Amino acid sequence: MTGLKAHVLRYWETEFPQLQPKKNRAGNRIYTLRDIEVVERIQHLLKEEKYTIEGARQALDRERADGEEPPRAELLRLRAFLEDVLRRLG
């Protein structure tokens, strides 16, 4: 979904406490929508905004403390709301 290799995701799990996907009984990681949003945010901070790993970690910590959401999460919540309104009207 993100185009990242598994070893990159595993490394990010060790570097970013915000990224902790659950594991099933077989030990496979199960990524939630929230996990994917965190991965995309990390990817954006590192690739687009040219943060270091430490800088990206601090930016994520600040965003969480400030209550900010990644833009995608906000749009997904808005979409769900609008779909609910449409369902109620239809």
Q: What CATH number corresponds to the domain at position 78?
A: 1.10.1660
* Number of domains the chain contains: 1
Domain that holds residue 49: 6-89
Q: In the chain, which ranges are E strands?
A: 22-23, 29-30
* % of the chain with per-residue pLDDT over 90: 66
Q: How far apart are CA 84 and CA 90, in angstroms?
A: 10
Task: Work out the widest C-alpha separation in the chain, in whole angstroms.
Answer: 48
Record the pTM: 0.69
In this prediction, residues 51-58 reach a mean pLDDT of 94
31 is a domain residue? yes
On the question of pLDDT at 12 being above 70, the answer is yes
Residue 5, pLDDT score: 95
Reported as a pLDDT band with limits 50, 70 and 90, residue 64 is confident
Say whether pLDDT at 55 is over 80.
yes
| Stronger pLDDT, 54 or 77, i.e. the higher one | 54
Q: Is residue 58 part of a domain?
A: yes
